[in-house]
């Protein structure tokens, strides 16, 4: 009996030992070292000196705009909700586009690109960077953003989690989307004229909620916009807002731009051209009143447009000659995709599931208005602080997400221990990720000086 028991124990040990070794390799303890003390922070600060923005004061700024369809015909995978597992959409409610602004002051050019997509996928960024160089552009001249609609097309994620969120990968569709972006840049270039530019904002607190903790005092309720008026009288508007584009439910299998599309369509009844991009959307949900339907989409889009329209005639407009752009490479900490409070998957396992991609901070200066692009769902709870920093530097600030890299959700470190989706499932880089990127934003802002001789 003792001999038999010994054999059972040995067999159990042989089974458990590899399992324990695997767990030891696959699960690590969280690192709570404050980010200013880390090597990754110091490396990025060092890189900032080598990647200063390119800024010039030259001739009066010319601005052009254009759009190009990027709609794959059905059936094609949807992106936006993991529970869909990349199911294909069966029809198209409203087509998706790339909308582009071209800026040229006679000395340099820059481009703002807004995609009707969940994010700007990293696979697309890599392909676009190569195509931009072939087209005679530097990748940092192209500022990327997305509307963050959860009912646009997928097919752009290479790894397992990419398939979960966006369906089967299609290099062909990535190439087609990149070609459409390049075409939109060329069309926007060809339409550029001397243009007056203004910055404005409106209140839309009735359309956004804080889904992380329900605190109304820490929402970003501002609609920020830029107005462009060409010499021939044509007017374009670029707007951003913090509410997630998640009006339509996950079970819905129809391609749509969600409320950003309805907003643009409503605004284009008043102006020649409009574009929307997601602002600091992390922890911010849309507020609507007709359940998860296209009626709610149209209603929210129309209401958002109505917040801006009365502000357009009063927008202070000026010519400017200041144009700047930059792309700061960001050294990332080891990923910490959490298991419980104090442990996470080992980095090697995270990379196998999600892939390993570079991240960066985008920046674009137009007169005294500065746009900063985050590689993430970036929290609107940071906007009050950053807006005050900008005002102190005589700048207006617009923050957008989904710039071509992706770090998951970036929220204030004080929320780290909340038992919520945004700081658990979608927090990829530990307690300090949001605070780290916010500190880099502040440093990038200081690299841009207010425009000389022209207020905007």
Q: Tell me the C-alpha distance between 364 and 195, whole Å.
A: 17
How far, in Å, are 62, 96, 133, 318, 338 from residue 104 at the CA level?
5, 27, 18, 16, 45
DSSP 78-128: EES-GGGTTPEE-EESS--EEEEEEEE-SS-EEEEEEESSSS--HHHHHHH
Which residue has tokens 């062909």? 172
Q: Could you tell me the CA-to-CA distances from 234 to 110, 195, 229, 342, 420 in Å, in that order?
A: 20, 9, 6, 56, 46
Half-sphere exposure of 188 (CA within 13 A, CB side): 29
Annotated binding site for Zn(2+): 148, 244
Beta bridge partners of 173: none
Within 10 Å of residue 445's Cβ, how many Cβ atoms? 18
Whether the bond into 75 is cis, omega within 30 of 0 = yes
* Count of Cβ atoms closer than 10 Å to residue 89 Cβ: 24
Write out the binding residues.
148, 244
CA distance 383 to 391: 12
* Spatial distance between the Cα atoms of 65 and 275, rounded to a whole number of angstroms: 10
The answer to whether the CB of 320 falls within 8 A of the CB of 57 is: no
How would you class 145 by CB atoms within 10 Å of its CB: exposed for 0-12, middle for 13-18, buried for 19 or more?
Answer: buried
Do the bridges between strand 322-330 and strand 54-57 make them parallel or antiparallel, or are there none, so unpaired? antiparallel
């Amino acid at each position: 009996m003792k001999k038999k028991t010994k054999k059972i124990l040995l067999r159990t040990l042989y089974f458990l030992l590899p399992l324990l070794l695997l767990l030891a390799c696959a699960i690590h303890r969280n690192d709570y070292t404050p980010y200013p003390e880390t090597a990754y922070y110091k490396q990025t600060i060092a890189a900032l000196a080598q990647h200063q923005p390119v800024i010039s004061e030259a001739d009066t700024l010319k601005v052009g705009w254009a759009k190009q369809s990027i709609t794959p015909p059905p059936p094609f995978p949807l992106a936006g909700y993991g529970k869909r597992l990349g199911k294909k959409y069966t029809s198209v409610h409203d087509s998706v586009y790339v909308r582009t602004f071209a800026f040229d002051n006679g000395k340099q050019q820059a481009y703002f690109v807004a995609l009707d997509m969940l994010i700007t996928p990293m696979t697309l960024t890599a392909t676009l960077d190569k195509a931009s160089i072939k087209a005679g552009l530097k990748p940092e001249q192209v500022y990327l953003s997305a509307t963050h609609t959860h009912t646009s097309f997928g097919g752009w994620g290479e790894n397992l989690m990419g398939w979960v969120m966006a369906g089967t990968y299609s290099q062909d569709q990535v190439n087609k989307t990149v070609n459409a972006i390049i075409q939109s840049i060329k069309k926007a270039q060809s339409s550029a004229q001397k243009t007056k530019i203004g910055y404005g904002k409106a209140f839309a607190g009735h359309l956004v909620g804080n889904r992380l903790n329900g605190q109304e005092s820490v929402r970003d309720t501002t609609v920020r916009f830029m107005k462009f008026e060409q010499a021939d009288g044509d007017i374009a508007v670029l707007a951003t807002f913090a509410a997630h584009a998640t009006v339509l439910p996950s079970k819905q299998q129809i391609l749509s731009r969600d409320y950003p599309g309805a907003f643009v369509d409503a605004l284009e009844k008043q102006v020649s051209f409009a574009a929307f991009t997601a602002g600091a959307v992390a922890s911010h949900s849309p507020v609507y009143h007709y359940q998860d339907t296209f009626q709610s989409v149209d209603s929210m889009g129309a209401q958002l447009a109505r917040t801006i329209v009365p502000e357009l005639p009063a927008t202070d407009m000026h010519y400017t000659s200041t144009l700047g752009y930059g792309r700061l490479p960001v050294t990332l900490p080891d990923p910490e995709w959490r298991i419980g409070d104090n442990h996470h998957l080992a980095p090697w396992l995270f990379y196998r599931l999600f892939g390993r991609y570079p991240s960066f901070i985008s920046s674009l200066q137009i007169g005294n208005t500065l746009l900063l692009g985050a590689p993430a769902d970036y929290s609107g709870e940071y906007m009050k602080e950053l807006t005050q920093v900008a005002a102190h530097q005589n700048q207006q600030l617009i923050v957008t997400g989904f710039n071509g890299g992706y770090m998951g959700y970036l929220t204030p470190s004080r929320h780290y221990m909340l038992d919520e989706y945004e700081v658990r499932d979608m927090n990829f880089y530990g307690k300090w990720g949001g605070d780290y990127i916010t500190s880099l934003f502040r440093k990038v802002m200081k690299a841009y000086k207010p425009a000389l001789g022209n207020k905007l």
